[in-house]
Structure 1
Amino acid sequence: MRLWEKVAIITGGGQGIGEQIAKTFGREGAKIVVAELNEETGSKVSSELRDSGIESIFVKTDVSNEQSIIDMVESAKKQFGGIDILVNNAAIAVRKSVVDTTLDDWQKVMNVNLTGPFLGSKYTIPEMINRNGGSIINIGSWHAEKTITRFASYPAAKGGLQALTRQMALDYGEHNIRVNAVCPSMVDTPLERGTFATLPDPEDAYNQALDFQPMGRIGTVEDIANACLFFASDESVYVSGQSLMVDGAAINKLARPLMFD
């Protein structure tokens, strides 16, 4: 098992990509802290992990709130003795242009998508130093590199997250802490389906999206979880400061996403 006896915190672990990361890491021997704002989904995932023989706790966590992050870290330490892996996965999206984006919209997206990983890392890194190393995995996005119209705040936050990834890798490499980002394109998740649902013809938009995928499909949560497993394991022991696009080569093709016009 590649993560035997490792302790992993997964923010946004109650659904979608985060849920699958939690299950994938658990199958590889990790002890899982499901950090999730939604108590119903978070506790359900943690319960399912325990039912399958995986050690897990659920911690209700608002990643945009400093005290909530402190409590998350303390809960992990109390239950499992320390922290080896942090996956900063929790995210929200608001699809508006700069002019249409309210300050409240902007701050909510930044607080969850950029401040959240900052706070999670800030309070987890000292625990990793105490254990002589660790791995931080930020869930970025292809939107940091190539994005769509009327989507101001989300790509800005994800671009900042990639920069933060590189900076932390520089600062904490001497402590044997690796920091990398996994950057998905379209993935079949509740967040992605919610984006399609806001469009006039969701089915047509989805079909157009498929036309832009060189591999003929959008990503799965398993695709993203497997990339995260690589960064969490010793297989990536000399990889840090990197942003891995997990997109089926779509970023090389996508020039004008018609389904979002």
Structure 2
Amino acid sequence: MDTQKFVLITGAAGGIGRATVNLFFEKGWHVVGIDRSDFGEGFPANGLFVRSDISRPEDMQAIFEKVSAVTDSLDALVNNAAMQIAKPLVETTVEEWDAVMNANLRSVFLGVKLAHPLLKARGGAAVVNVSSVHAIQTSANIAAYAASKGGMLALTRAMAIEFAPDNIRANAILPGAVDTPMLRAGLGRGHVGHGDMQERLDNLARKTVNGRVGTPEEIAHAIYFLADNQQSSFMTGQALVVDGGATARLSTE
């Protein structure tokens, strides 16, 4: 069997996705990246980038046909793609709710189902689901996103139990405030004031215990830890929070 390691990363063109693509490439892995947006310049030359929408089941099927053409096994699957709709629950439409669930949760179910034969073929693989601190502590006007990320934790536990006989581990990572395009877009919700972007980022930073917002690279390293069978071989079904201590502090403090 080929000893070259392969990882599939969804949401590869986003903030955390790009950092994760780069880190796995630096570590010597072949990277398959998926995103509905163009990656642009700089995708690893020895990898494969597929522009596709994981919220569409027919697109998922096509993705894995392309993946199977380049490798007969996967060492890791990183379910990172997500969308966020920031509005009050009572103003959220059924279409918006379904769009968030399809992109954030159904895509993970489908992706793992389709990736399972490739992960099983490796004889020791890992699934890393990128959830969010919103799965365990949330705020106003982000209900659909929080629900999708909470569902991902339950799905991660179910995967861990069902896939253990195939030597496939499944864990989730819960990033807190990380400086990404998604975070900056979401700062318009008003939960950190209404100043300019830097002022909002500074206000958010003060709410963490570390006193700063995280970087995509910091999350990428945590993802790599969970994907690497040497570093996290005895971890499965777990939720790893990487949030600068934000969820450690009482909201009444």
Question: TM-score, normalised to structure 1's length?
Answer: 0.90
Q: Which residue in the other structure is 1:229 paired with? A: 224
Return the offset for 1:197: 4.3
The alpha-carbon distance between structure 1 residues 58 and 20, as it changes in their structure 2 partners (threshold 3 A), is: same
Q: Which residue in the other structure is 2:12 paired with? A: 13
CA contact (8 A) 2:11 2:34 kept: yes
Cα displacement string for residues 156-187 of structure 1 (whole angstroms, at most 9, x for unaligned residues): 00000000000000000011000000100000
| Correspondence list, 1:1-261, <5 A | 5-38=4-37, 40-41=38-39, 43-46=40-43, 49-50=44-45, 55-197=46-188, 199=190, 200-203=194-197, 204-234=199-229, 235-253=231-249, 255=251
Q: Which secondary structure does the structure 1 equivalent of 2:90 belong to? A: coil
RMSD of the alignment, in Å? 1.7
Q: Number of matched residues?
A: 246
The whole-number CA distance in structure 1 between the counterparts of 2:164 and 2:41 is 36
The alpha-carbon distance between structure 1 residues 253 and 209, as it changes in their structure 2 partners (threshold 3 A), is: same
Q: Which runs of 5+ in 1 are unaligned?
A: none
The whole-number CA distance in structure 1 between the counterparts of 2:202 and 2:94 is 33
The whole-number CA distance in structure 2 between the counterparts of 1:182 and 1:223 is 12
Return the offset for 1:82: 2.4
The whole-number CA distance in structure 2 between the counterparts of 1:189 and 1:256 is 27
Identity, in percent, stands at 35
Q: Which runs of 5+ in 2 are unaligned?
A: none
The whole-number CA distance in structure 2 between the counterparts of 1:22 and 1:155 is 25
The whole-number CA distance in structure 1 between the counterparts of 2:242 and 2:87 is 25
The whole-number CA distance in structure 2 between the counterparts of 1:254 and 1:213 is 11
CA contact (8 A) 1:97 1:152 kept: yes
The whole-number CA distance in structure 2 between the counterparts of 1:70 and 1:133 is 23
Return the offset for 1:79: 1.5
The whole-number CA distance in structure 2 between the counterparts of 1:256 and 1:97 is 23
Question: TM-score, normalised to structure 2's length?
Answer: 0.92
CA contact (8 A) 1:140 1:158 kept: yes
The whole-number CA distance in structure 2 between the counterparts of 1:202 and 1:115 is 35
Deviates further, 183-192 or 90-99: 90-99
CA contact (8 A) 1:76 1:82 kept: no
